Structure 1
Amino acid sequence: MQLNFKQLASLPIFNGICEEDLPAMLNCLGSFQKNYQKDEIILLEGNEVRSVGIILSGIVHMVKEDSEGYQTLLVAMKDGELFGESFSCGSHLDAHVSFFAAAPCTVLFLPFHKIIHSCKISCTFHHRLIENMVQLIGDKNVQLMHKIEVISKKTLREKILTYLQQQALDQDSRQFTIPLSRLELAKYLCADRSALTRELSYMQKDGLISYEKNTFQLL
């Protein structure tokens, strides 16, 4: 599949870089593109990470699996977001989490060492690319802070309310659609799916929320 350079130019990682410069830039960086089917593993925990992944389409989940095989959803990422950057730029290249396709997705990979080291012809895009990446890493840290805020709550009801309040704030509306299925939300909240479904029903009866499938409203 050929790259859509107009689409690429609109992504945050390439902000401030002209569409006309993208073909030469990606060639200089040694980028490569891969497609994944739903539930396909993109990167397994323990594997070495040498490239930053940019989601061109679809959804990628960052998950942590314990010794008994239970998975905790850490972050759900969509178009334009990065993954693997924390490991590819660290002193230890092994991934401490796994990444898999939560929906069919296309990923563009950029070798990290080529991003931070200028090539022989000193392409002008390198500094801008690094600035954009630092900003996106900061955004990812905010997502992880949101996760910590949610799971630090003592009760399941508090966890649910905190998550829903974050979604309402992000979407600037008290009525909003969450990006996670019930099973995915249970994994994100570190909760049992049945307990989550039951608590949502209780919260609706208590007049805290109303919902229909993935559309919620804070009352």
Structure 2
Amino acid sequence: MRIFDESRLIEHPLFQNLSKEQFALVWNFLEPQMRAHPRSTLIFRQGDEASNLGLLVEGQLRIERTIPCGKRILLQEEASPDDLLCASFAAVPGQQLTYSVRAHTDCFVYHIDCRRLLYLGEHGYSRLLLNLLTIINSESRSFARRSTILSGGSVRDRISLYLYKQYLAHQTLNFTISLNREELASFLCVDRSALSKELSLMQRDGLLSYHKNEFHLSECWLEQYDSTWAF
């Protein structure tokens, strides 16, 4: 069994503003179970009943959804140890999951029984519930940002909106994204060949240059966007 320093988790957004003593009480009350998830395995499966909340402590995850034709769509590039998995379902145990969570690398996750979250208020842990609502709100905003990217009608518009998001996140015109070409096409819901063709055209037009997953955006490209707009 892999051993982790549980005291470090007090810095996680779920436990924000809890004292060390409060964290210890909450942690014991939740009785989280550590599980190892090898690369490419499903941690949570779309369609299953939401019974556990996942607290990632090591590794990288991808959030995906399978559409009726069987194609997998990437919903979130990766989840980090700051993310709480399936948070939007935590308050309603038994809700059917509308997406899957897959281990992108070998992962270690604490699983928390959602039903125990229902009794936090009775035990004086209302601060934790407020933190959970904040995380759910943040998760909703993340999916809203992806909806904004997909609202771009053309392939070029979707690429540009995605790269603008990356520019805001990195605060530089030069950055490396976490997705390969196939994964980026899945995230943008476009054909891979169409994506590659449009990137070549954008490079020809002087809007950007790229090599694999490394991008350099031009000042000309940046002028298309209002720098005050919050993504």
Fold equivalence (TM over 0.5): yes
Q: Which residue of 2 is the match for residue 98 of structure 1? A: 100
Question: Residue 50 of structure 2 contacts residue 94 of structure 2 at CA under 8 Å; is this kept in 1?
Answer: no
RMSD: 1.9
Structure 1 stretches of 5 or more lacking a match? none
Greater shift after overlay, 5-14 or 43-52? Answer: 5-14
Look up the match of 1:87. 89
- Give the aligned partner of residue 205 of structure 1: 204
2:51 corresponds to: 50
Instruction: Determine helix, strand or coil for the equivalent of 1:72.
Output: strand
Question: C-alpha separation between the residues in 2 aligned to 1:10 and 1:179?
Answer: 25
Residue 28 of structure 1 and its aligned partner are, at CA, apart by: 1.0
**How far has the Cα of 1:187 moved from its partner?**
0.7
When structure 1 is superposed on structure 2, of 13-22 and 77-86 the one drifting more is 13-22
Alignment-derived partner of residue 138 in structure 1: 137
Which range moves more in the overlay, 103-112 or 136-145? Answer: 103-112
CA distance in 2, matches of 1:91, 1:36: 22
Q: Which residue of 2 aligns with 1:108?
A: 110
SS at match of 1:96: coil
Q: CA deviation at 1:42?
A: 0.8
Which segment drifts farther, 153-162 or 58-67?
58-67
Matched residue count: 216
Deviates more, 1:89-98 or 1:75-84: 89-98
C-alpha distance in 1 between matches for 2:121 and 2:150? 44
**TM-score, normalised by the number of residues in structure 2:** 0.85
Percent identical among aligned pairs is 28
Q: Assess if the C-alpha contact under 8 Å between 1:51 and 1:85 holds in 2.
A: no
Matched-pair contact (CA < 8 Å) for 1:116–1:130 = no
Structure 1 residues 93 and 202: CA distance shift in structure 2, 3 A: same
| 2:135 alignment partner AA | L
Name the structure 1 match of 2:171: 172
Which residue of structure 2 aligns with residue 63 of structure 1? Answer: 64
Of the structure 1 ranges 134-143 and 81-90, higher mean CA displacement relative to structure 2 is found in 81-90
Q: Distance in 2 between matches of 1:155 and 1:59?
A: 30
8 Å CA contact retained: 2:93, 2:115: no
Contact 1:54/1:83 (<8 A) preserved: yes
| Change over 3 Å in CA distance of 1:4–1:102 after alignment to 2 | same
**Residues 46-89 of structure 1: per-residue CA shift (max 9 Å, x gap):** 11111211221222222111222111111132221012122232
TM-score (norm 1): 0.90
TM-superposed deviation, 1:177: 2.0
Deviations 1:129-172 (A, max 9, x none): 11211111111111101110111111111000000001111222
User: Deviations 1:161-218 (Å, cap 9, x if unpaired)?
Assistant: 0000011112222222212222211110011222212221221121111223222122
**C-alpha distance in 2 between matches for 1:177 and 1:145:** 23
1:182, 1:92 → 2: CA distance?
Answer: 36
Partner Cα separation in structure 2 for residue 92 and residue 30 of structure 1: 19
- Residue 28 and residue 92 in structure 1: after superposition, are their counterparts in 2 closer, same or farther (change >3 A)? closer
